[in-house]
Every structure is written in C-alpha cells, then in structure tokens.
Amino acid sequence: MKAVVGDHIVIDSEKVGQTRRRGVVEEVLASDPPRLRVRWEDGHSSVFAPSAGAAKIEPTKAKSAKTSSAKAKR
C-alpha cells in the first residue's frame, strides 16, 4: 500500500453494523511497514498501521488527474 499526503483512506468495518471509517493522510511516517498519520472524518487524528487488505487508498483528484494526463501524453 502506497499513500501520499492528501490521499483518502477508507477502512472497512470488521463488525457487522459498523460503518466504514474515512480519513485523509496527513503524514507518511514510514513506508514499509506503512505507518500513516490520518485525520478522520470525525476530526480526530491518529497513527494508523494498516494490515493487509484492511484499508483502501483513494488518490486525491489532483494527483489522479496528473497521472491521467501524463499517460495521455505518452
């Protein structure tokens, strides 16, 4: 899992009936194993160490637009 500052992170619930957690990556503390400082939707911030398959990274729109335009130029 590779994340950069500004990416959104989505954590699926481990329990039935709980909602997903969403947040924004504020800082990448380590890349391997990943350690991220995340600002959650409820305003709290925490250091998060995702396990395999537990989290999904959604790149920021600006970053994904740059990637798309760079690919189109090739």
Say which DSSP state 24 is in: E
pLDDT at 63: 55
pLDDT, tens only, 34-59: 999 999 999 999 999 988 777 899 98
Nearest Cα to 22, choosing from 33, 2, 4, 7? 7
pLDDT at 55: 87
- Higher pLDDT: 47 or 73? It is 47
What residues contact residue 51 under an 8 Å CB cut-off, 6+ apart?
none
pLDDT at 50: 85
